[in-house]
Amino acid sequence: MSDLRCGLVVIGGGPGGYVCASRAARLGVDTILIESGRVGGTCLNVGCIPSKALIHAADLFATARRQAGEGMHGITVAEPSLDFGQTREWMDGVVSRLRSGVVGLLERSGVKTLHGRARFLDGKTVEVVGDTGTTTVRAENVVIATGSRPVDLPGLPTGGKVLDSTGALALDQPPQRLAVIGAGYIGLELGTAFAKLGSAVTLLEAAPTILPQYDEKLTRPVRRRLGELGIGLRLDTKVTSWDDGTGRLQVEHDGKTETLEFDKVLVTVGRTANTDGLALEELRLKMEGPFIQIDDRCRTSMRGVYAIGDVTAGPMLAHRAMAHAEIAADVIAGHANAWDKTCVPAVCFTDPEIASVGLLPREAETEGPVTVSEFSFRANGRALTLDDAEGMVRIVARQSDHVILGIQATGPGVSELTAGFAQAIETGLRIEDIAAVIHPHPTLSEALQEAALAEASMANHG
């Protein structure tokens, strides 16, 4: 057993953990990062990055299949074939390149990385058990950044033909018949991608709607596209049993039971914080249900112990974890910083994409009268030239002074507009401010200006 001492130990090398460790080290804090798997965490290795790579490859294949059929805009090609092994190699290459970049960043920043599982001995001491033995790390400060993992559905544990999102992204071939349990953003993203790659996909959702956190205006284009892709959608449907040997899934809808057959079942019913196995009971931290309670400086109830990202209450998003990481690193290094964010952007990489920043209309209305202004991509030149004009941009503003409270969009590439939406809300812009800014033509961003103009004076193309 060896002993180490440092100013900061960060437990978890995901987006929150590696950003915190790197930033703290560059601010002069002697930092050790502990990671049980590969740096980059779920997001880089088995989540955000490989799933978006899969979605891109699926879009390319689906487009080629359309061009091979009736053709597109005068373009006809031979019937495409899918070498999924090469697709996987490309996906893995993207992940590997980004992970190497993170490793290099940590090394350049002067962070020492320990591979192993960490558990608290007390608020200043962490025991790390790895392949090469046990190391005890004593630190002035500790940041818990262990992230989250997929939730198993009761009676349908992961294994065999039952996959979580990690297992789905590791498949050697798209399954012929795929059941996706859960019509949240992960289920819709992966289900749509596999459908475009040739799988017969059925979405099963216990709730009466897809993406229940959003309103019907945002989800309607996505639901329409599911039908166009031949994806079966069964709402108000509960899974009652599964036989891994026969591939038979029993479901219940409206009091009636039905048996369906699938080659694989993908469970996407949520995620849970990775707080078990850390011996948190040694610290007796204050909790918010399953989450660690923190203040606006990411401090827990124990001095010198911080928590960031998915182990804290709030949306489980990588960019939220990175924002937490900046705060924790600055505070530990003795610099002033605190959480003062007005919004945390959210993006669903569905087809079409959905972006939401700030308050939805129904949420804003609880705080007082609001004005809601929309502009359809069907009147947007760039969307038409992309042959993808489904969707709209919507601005939610306070009625009294037109201060923007929320912006939502659904349509092609709206994920790339989201940072601008967030900036408008964080800086307290009014509808008139957006309307007065020249937006380049032809771009999708013009839809935001047109939505603002519709309320400030009149839309130019509405």
Instruction: Please give the helix or strand (H or E) that residue 138 lies within, else none.
Output: strand 133-144
CA distance 448 to 43: 30
CA 448 vs CA 99, 144, 362, 407: distances in Å: 35, 39, 20, 9
User: What secondary structure letter does DSSP report for 373?
Assistant: E
CA distance 334 to 116: 29
- Indicate if the alpha-carbon torsion angle 422, 427, 430, 433 is positive or negative: negative
E-strand stretches of 256-320: 256-261, 264-267, 271-273, 287-288, 291-292, 305-307
Cα 431-437-443 angle, rounded to 5 deg: 105
- Point out the catalytic residue in the list 56, 324, 441, 461: 441
**441 is a catalytic site residue:** yes
> How many residues appear in the chain?
462
CA distance 83 to 159: 26
Six-digit token string for 160? 């065999």
Half-sphere exposure of 89 (CA within 13 A, CB side): 5
| Of 370, 372, 341, nearest in space to 218 by CA | 372
What positions carry a catalytic annotation? 441
